[in-house]
Chains A and B, each alone.
Chain A
Amino acid sequence: MKNKFEKISEILFVLPQLILYLLFTIIPFFMIIPFMLTNMVSVNSNTYSFIGLGNFKEIFGPIYLPSFTEVVSRTAIFTFFNYLTVFIFGLTLALILYEKVIRAQKAFTIVIYLPYVIAGLAAGMFIPLLFHPDTGSLNLLLEKIGLIDGPIDIRSNLATMIILPLLVGWRYAGYNMAIFLVGLSSIPIETIEAAKIDGASYFQRLIHVYLPQMVPFIMLATISCLIGSFGIFDEPVGMGGLAGNRNAQLFSLYLYRIGVSGQAKIGTFSMGMAASFIVNIPLVAIAIYLLRLQRRLQY
């Protein structure tokens, strides 16, 4: 009987958090499949019926603006450039801290994480602050110095492809840097010393000694970047994504507008579910595959 009491009390301890987790993460995850096969127009619709794969055909149709393909390709391009910034910012900063050439390591780390503690929305608002075609401070400054001829326009596709990834990379620099730092610390020093004795330049050391031994960590950063990039919301909103900047509408904003604004010209609720499914299921599959690969490589 004591055993039974033990078991019940164990279950009671995990139950509260488990119930919440099931309700708000696991069950919604599985809810997508039944609902994407219906023609539910909005969240409040009471009449909807099974229409099979109809949504999947409609998504690619021409009626809706912005179109599904437009948003997804924009998000995919963003993800690519965002992935580059993981290394441009994260790896570079990790190397700077690892080589211990800075005396004020702590102060520098505080600066690095500063963009991470502020709201993503606030960070996103830095973009029009600096790059709005008429009033952007950095635009005006660069024009005055003579570095650029005309203002960089945040409403253009260029901005979404280049500036937004830079901003997001800057924001998550600390996060990625931490992963790479741990990776660097796990490299046996003998391999580095051996390379130094052989006269390898820093760049050669980096490519042939550091990076190959950091592969599990690179994979971890890759998975995080991949999963995060398709769900990014705050920063594009800061850029004006919900206020008319059409080029700032990445995938999450697209879903938000479908689901909550209920603007039928973008698509129905069930179409949003279908869109969610199409984009995210392959993503999750890739992520799980990479994760298992990474676990195997790490040990």
Chain B
Amino acid sequence: MFYDNSGIRGNINKAKMRVSKTGFILLAVVYSIITLVPFYFAFVRSFVPSKEAGELHLWIPEDQEFNLDVRYGNMSVYYNMDLDKFKKDLGIEDVKYINPNLTLRQIGEKYNIPEQEIKDYMAPYYLYNGWIVILQDKRFYKALYTTFLITMISIILGGLLATATGYVLAGFKKKWHYGMYILYMLSMVVPRSLILLPLYLMVTRFLNLGNYGYLVLVLIFIQGGCLPVMIFTGYISKLPPELEESVKMDGGTRLTYYFKVLLPLCKPAFAAYAAIHIPLFWNELLMGILFLKKSQYTLAPYLQNIQGTFTTNYQAVYAALVLSLIPIIIFYLIFNNMFLKAQISGAVKG
């Protein structure tokens, strides 16, 4: 090799190399642990009852018997319980008002409900309160479903649009091609906070789309920008021009070429585009809370709403957090090849 690893100099070099090597490995291990720690704690904390949140929990706490000395009034604060359902399930639905200072034990005595029945009913709420609240929340499923649809539609439409743009611009055969390319590249230097207010003004006042939240979201997603245009223009410029010529010679139009030849050919570019943008669309918060009504919320706005609503019920907040992380992490683990490849090559072109 180029340098001599024998002799005293060589030994010093070898020692130096070993130190940096060990140092690096140590760093990598520490970093990996640090990265996984928050996920772990989010999972554990989703089981820890709010009252015990002030103590350190390194693992899911043991299931304890539900304490019947909880005051009725605290039920909705700590357990976000649907009190009408509670009364109905325990057979006391005709009781209009229950003094919030009564404990569950006293309620049991007053209305002749056996203690064990209340205990059994409340049993899962000690650990699984948060999970029950979220998994029974219709808005959660709606948010999941809506986010999935919007992401899928945006990726497909955005890909089609970006391919069309890349198709025309590739190779910069005319002057305005390059000009338009630069126009799209400008989005790289446009900060989000600059566009925030005027965009809101544009959409709600001038385009009057204030009530079409989903449409606005999709349109904003598919408008493209520096990355999609860069990806497709770059990829298409490497395709042989004979392909288009042969389609034209057979009497085909641009459209024929686009649908029958170009789109199937651009699958790798589309994969890169999708790999980068699926997480971006899925996790979008700002556009969601700007343009959607609370009943229409996608996943990230939903999570933010939960954070604001259930401030005292940590189990619910962290259960929602964990649940919202699961789909995207699954996607990431399945498609990580495509994702990593797109990220690393996408960095260059910037």
**Residues on A facing B (Cβ under 8 Å):** 9-10, 13-14, 16-18, 20-21, 23-29, 31-32, 35, 43-44, 92-93, 95-96, 99, 101-102, 106, 108-122, 125-126, 129-130, 134-135, 137-138, 140-141, 144, 170, 174-175, 178-179, 181-182, 193, 196-197, 199, 201-202, 220, 223-224, 227-228, 230-231, 233-234, 237-238, 240, 242-243, 251-252, 255-256, 258-260, 269, 272-273, 276-277, 279-281, 283-284, 287-288, 291
Scan B332-350; emit 1 where CB is below 8 A from any A CB, else 0. Answer: 1100100110011011101
Of the candidates B188, B300, B347, the one whose C-beta lies within 8 Å of that of A121 is B300
- Residues from chain B with Cβ under 8 Å of A113 in the complex: 332, 336, 339-340, 343
- Residues from chain A with Cβ under 8 Å of B220 in the complex: 20, 24
CB distance A14 to B180 under 8 Å? yes
- Residues from chain A with Cβ under 8 Å of B339 in the complex: 113, 117
B169 within 8 A of A: yes
Give the distance to chain A from B289, nearest Cβ to Cβ, in Å.
8
Of the candidates B38, B54, B328, B344, the one whose C-beta lies within 8 Å of that of A129 is B38
CB distance B164 to A122 under 8 Å? no
Give the distance to chain B from A95, nearest Cβ to Cβ, in Å.
7
Which one of B79-87, B100-108, B120-128, B317-325 is at the A interface?
A: B317-325
Which one of B62-70, B111-119, B202-210 is at the A interface?
A: B202-210
Given contacts A119-B303, A138-B41, A202-B20, whether A231 and B192 have CB atoms under 8 Å apart is: yes
Q: For residues 165 through 223 of chain B, which have their beta carbon under 8 Å from a beta carbon of chain A? A: 165, 167-169, 180, 183-184, 186-205, 207, 219-220, 222-223
Given contacts A122-B324, A230-B191, A284-B194, whether A109 and B202 have CB atoms under 8 Å apart is: no
In the bound assembly, the distance between CA atoms of A97 and B220 in angstroms comes to 36
In the bound assembly, the distance between CA atoms of A220 and B193 in angstroms comes to 20
- Residues from chain B with Cβ under 8 Å of A32 in the complex: 194, 197-198
B261 within 8 A of A: no
B24 within 8 A of A: yes
Residue of A nearest to B253 (CB): A9
In the bound assembly, the distance between CA atoms of A113 and B270 in angstroms comes to 21
Given contacts A109-B340, A113-B340, A135-B314, whether A92 and B196 have CB atoms under 8 Å apart is: no
- Residues from chain B with Cβ under 8 Å of A43 in the complex: 200-201, 204-205
Residues of B in contact with A, size category: 35 or more
**Residues on B facing A (Cβ under 8 Å):** 2-3, 9, 13, 16, 20-21, 24-25, 27-28, 31-32, 34-39, 41-42, 44-45, 53-58, 161-162, 164-165, 167-169, 180, 183-184, 186-205, 207, 219-220, 222-225, 253-255, 258, 279, 282-283, 285-286, 289-290, 299-300, 303-304, 307-308, 311, 314, 317-318, 321, 324-325, 328-329, 331-333, 336, 339-340, 343-344, 346-348, 350
In the bound assembly, the distance between CA atoms of A21 and B169 in angstroms comes to 15
Of the candidates A17, A99, A141, A252, the one whose C-beta lies within 8 Å of that of B164 is A17
In the bound assembly, the distance between CA atoms of A17 and B223 in angstroms comes to 5
In the bound assembly, the distance between CA atoms of A20 and B186 in angstroms comes to 15
